[in-house]
Structure 1
Amino acid sequence: MKILSAALLALAAAAAVAATFLPLSELLIRLTPDQPQTAYVTTGWATHFGGTKDEHGPLFGIPAVAAAAVVLVGIRWRKVAFAGAAALAGVTGMLFVYLLNAISFHKQGNITIDPGLEAGFGNGVWVLIAATILAFGAVVVHPDD
């Protein structure tokens, strides 16, 4: 069970870090009726609007990477693994609610600008959720200290 738990914790940590480089939210918007839709994509480290990268990235990746580090330390101690899984759940939940609000705002606030607006979660959110589930699964099979 120790090897299974360690493998799940390592996989959860790797998935959490990888998720920060994937799109967390994606928005396709047309700023004027004669323009094609432009992609507005947010990752854990940067925001891209079309081909332009925002200098002031959101840095959502920092708490996710910190939680992933605690998850890795949890390979040794079950209580630390639980704390890491809980931290990862908190980061994922906070990010999910923030992005849900931002996506809803864009859908409602820009309907007059672009009725064909598309806004939604990117793959990064789903990978973070999967990492959280893996981390808690690892805690369940982790041998007691």
Structure 2
Amino acid sequence: MRKIVGTALFVLAAAAAVGATLLPFSELLIRLAPGQPQTSYVTTGWSTQFGGTKDEHGPLFAVPVVLAAAAVLAGIRWRKVAYAGAAALAGVTGMLFVYLLNAISFHKEGNIAIDPALEAGFGNGIWVLIAAVVLAFGAVVVHPDD
């Protein structure tokens, strides 16, 4: 039974991590000129989009997330790899969270004088990624001993 639960948790963790890369990690609403409507600036793991324009040079935050998710999946077979995969996913998520927190805090503190009504915050992707970390460590806990 532990093997089935552990396998399910590993698969869910990896799927959640990869799926999170397709969701917004951060969202920013900014007015470029007084009286203009706010324009959204959205960053996912693979792209950045400003209004209707997609940045051709995406941030590629997803690459280390996908690699960590692959290590999490490999942990189904080997317990030591399970620890490493969960730790890698936690490390990547933590670094991304801190990076986004700094970027969001910079914008919220009024460092952009163009739009005092600017709104900046985390997107759903970061929360799904954090949930994937919790699932990965849960999988490690129930992993049957080798």
TM-score after normalising by structure 2: 0.97
Q: Secondary structure at the match of 2:22?
A: coil
User: Does 2:74 correspond to 1:58?
Assistant: no
Q: 1:126 aligns to what? A: 127
Pairwise CA RMSD of aligned residues?
Answer: 0.6
Report the AA paired with residue 125 of structure 1.
I
Distance across 2 between alignment mates of 1:69 and 1:28 = 34
Match for 2:25: what amino acid? L
Q: What runs of 5+ residues in structure 1 fail to find an aligned partner?
A: none
The question of 1:86 aligning with 2:87 is answered yes
Question: Which residue is equivalent to 2:48?
Answer: 47
**Residue 71 of structure 1: aligned partner:** 72
Distance 1:119 1:51 in 2: 18
> 1:107 Cα shift?
1.8
Distance 1:78 1:120 in 2: 36
Q: What SS does the corresponding residue of 2:35 show, helix, strand or coil?
A: coil
Pairwise CA distance, 1:34: 2.0
Tell me what 1:12 maps to. 13
- Cα distance in 2 for residues equivalent to 1:102 and 1:118: 12
**How many pairs does the alignment contain?**
144
Whether 1:23 and 2:24 are equivalent positions in the alignment is yes
TM-score of the two chains, using structure 1 as the length reference: 0.98
Give unpaired runs (5+ residues) of structure 2. Answer: none
| 1:105 CA displacement | 1.1
Equivalent residue letter for 2:60 = L
